[in-house]
Amino acid sequence: MSEINQSQLLVQNIKAAFRKITAAPTHLSAQEIRELSAQQFQSIFTGLKVQIKGSEYLPYEKGSIFIYNHLDNHPSLMAADHFQITLDSHYISGVLYKYYNDPGIRVVRHSLAAESNHKAYYDRFDYIRVYSKDFTPDHLTKKEVKKENKKFYARAAAALENNTSLVFSPEGLSYKTEASPGPFSKGVFKLASGMKKQPKIVPLVMVDFDKLPHKATYKCQIMPAFTMADYGIFDPDDPRLGEVVKKINKKYKNWVQKLRVEEEHFEREIAVLKRKVYQLETQEALTVFYGSSTIRLWKNMAQDLAPHQTLNLGFGGAFIHSLSHYFAHLFDGLAPQNIMLYLGGNDLTLGFDADRIVADITSFIQMIHTKFPETKIYNIAIKPSFERESELKEIRSINDGVQALSEKLPYLHQLGLYEKLMDNNRIRGDVLLQDGLHLNEKGYKALTALVLAALESRQ
């Protein structure tokens, strides 16, 4: 499919999504409509270039507030006459449905009298409605608008207390990526501050959803969740609330611009890792960990593996070819006793089969051995995960292939992480984060035990 045809197909899919919702049987509940829409857009975005980062920051619990910078729609993406379905908000609903089996409830503006398609569509969702500054009927007074918008607090609080996630843009307006976000209003932050048990607020940074898909990659980055208590706010009437909201708004602007200009390569992360190499105080009996997010996210590695001397050179989303590309630069000046690898899982997203991935791992290991012939090399088997459940057969084949290689090469040893995270041929949910991909604390304890046993048995 050509790039332009990809954009044309998106328009067709958006129109079909509109028709399916507005023509859905009237007996379907609002929750069923929300789920139907989330499923539709999951399918729509599957065929587009979309990057999602930071899924490890998703809270376990439902009932969180997901805030986002709301982006304009491209004028070509019309769902019906004078009506557009916003891409960023629908993408978020799909993400929540994927990870929580519930798309949450959004906050959307009231329809104007002339906006028949807007009303026909959003009335089916029974979302929380508010009046938006530029879309308020002329006959309503400011007092009436304020009174109506105050209903948001009661309904939003009730949804959160019922463990339904809230999806909300604090701007109230939409912007181009380059100008995003606009100024934040205090409403959702007041809501969170005033609840008996403050909900987590999860920032979602959205980039380029205002572009046509053949001209951009849609990006979403999930940032660490926070509560208003983290900023010292426990009361919605706290006079410091306004300054805190401005501070959050300023952070958001930096996040958006950083994600907007971020390259697909890893230069920024590699520079940080190289500084870690320069700052290394001793290389005595050094074990270097090198690989993708399973390595990068091992925050307590030094404490977990003490007294072994370790260096974490993991970077997120790394493929075998990127690990190979940066190897000479990062390992220049190092003399590791051991190198511990975790790689290959991300390469499945490139469409490579198990044989190709095993061959690439083999070539990389041989390259490492050529540079460090006295170094012991360990490979951590690819872990099972719910995110890649459909690819477990390929993952087992890759692990088996590297295990067979380790039986031929005296300097290579395989660590059986896959088996540790399975129970009666089922993936252990207790060792994974909410995203179903990354290890949680219990998962890292299992990995720690494997690594310690391997290092101590081969000393």
Instruction: Report yes or no: 189 and 244 within 8 Å, Cβ to Cβ.
Output: yes
Quick one: 180 exposed, middle or buried, by C-beta within 10 A (0-12, 13-18, 19+)? Answer: buried
Residue bearing the bigger pLDDT, 47 or 72: 72
| Opening angle at CA 350, ends 344 and 351, nearest 5 | 100
In degrees rounded to 5, what are phi and psi of residue 203? -80, 130
- Look up residue 350 and give its DSSP letter: G
Query: How far lies 57's CA from each of 61, 112, 223, 286, 386, in Å?
Result: 12, 37, 6, 30, 16
DSSP string, 392-459: HHHHHHHHHHHHHHHTT-TTEEEE-HHHHTEETTEE-GGGB-TTSSSB-HHHHHHHHHHHHHHHHH--
| Amino acid at the residue 26 | T
Q: Locate 250 and state its tokens.
A: 């300023």
8 Å CB contact between 418 and 382: yes
Condensed to tens digits (0 to 9), the pLDDT of residues 145-160 reads 788 878 899 999 999 9
Q: How many CB atoms lie within 10 A of CB 127?
A: 18
**Chain segment 12-67, per-residue pLDDT in tens:** 999 999 999 999 999 999 999 999 999 999 999 988 889 999 999 999 988 999 99
**% of the chain at pLDDT higher than 90:** 84
Instruction: Tell me the average pLDDT across 170-184.
Output: 94
pLDDT digits (tens, 9 = 90+) for 87-143: 999 999 999 999 999 999 999 998 888 899 999 999 999 999 988 877 777 788 888
Cα 354 to Cα 128: distance, rounded to the nearest angstrom: 47
CB-based contacts of 388, cutoff 8 Å, min separation 6: 345, 348, 395, 437
Q: Which fold has domain 267-457?
A: Rossmann fold (3.40.50)
Report in angstroms the alpha-carbon separations of 90 from 14, 190, 263, 307.
Answer: 11, 25, 25, 49
For residue 4, pLDDT beyond 60: no
Angle at alpha carbon of residue 89, lines to 102 and 169, rounded to 5°: 105
* Residue 30 · residue 97 · CB < 8 Å: no
Nearest residue to 201 (alpha-carbon basis) of 59, 87, 100 = 59
Taking only the tens place, the pLDDT of each residue in 225-270 is: 999 999 999 999 999 999 999 999 999 999 999 999 876 567 888 9
For position 263, what pLDDT does the model report?
A: 61
pLDDT at residue number 384: 97
Q: What is residue 226's DSSP assignment? A: B
Rounded mean pLDDT, 346-358: 93
Tell me the domain boundaries of the chain.
3-261, 267-457
Residues near 37 by beta carbon (within 8 Å), at least 6 away in sequence: 17, 21, 90, 93, 103, 125
Q: What is d(CA 201, CA 189) in angstroms, rounded to the nearest whole number?
A: 9
Q: SS3 for 289?
A: strand
**Is the backbone peptide bond immediately before 224 cis, with ω within 30 degrees of 0?**
no
Distances in Å between the Cα of 453 and the Cα atoms of 20, 305, 389, 416, 458 are 56, 10, 28, 11, 9
Per-residue pLDDT at 265: 63
Segment 437-459 shows an average pLDDT of 93
- Terminal Cα distance for the chain, rounded: 55
- pLDDT tens, 370-403? 999 999 999 999 999 999 999 999 999 999 999 9
Give the pLDDT confidence of 185-229 residue by residue, as tens digits: 999 999 999 999 999 999 999 999 999 998 889 999 999 999 999
pLDDT at 441: 96
What is residue 393's predicted lDDT score, i.e. its pLDDT?
97
Neighbours of 29 (CB within 10 A): 10
How confident is the model at residue 1, as a pLDDT? 47
Its CATH architecture, for the domain 3-261, is: 3-Layer(aba) Sandwich (3.40)
Specify the pLDDT at position 459.
54
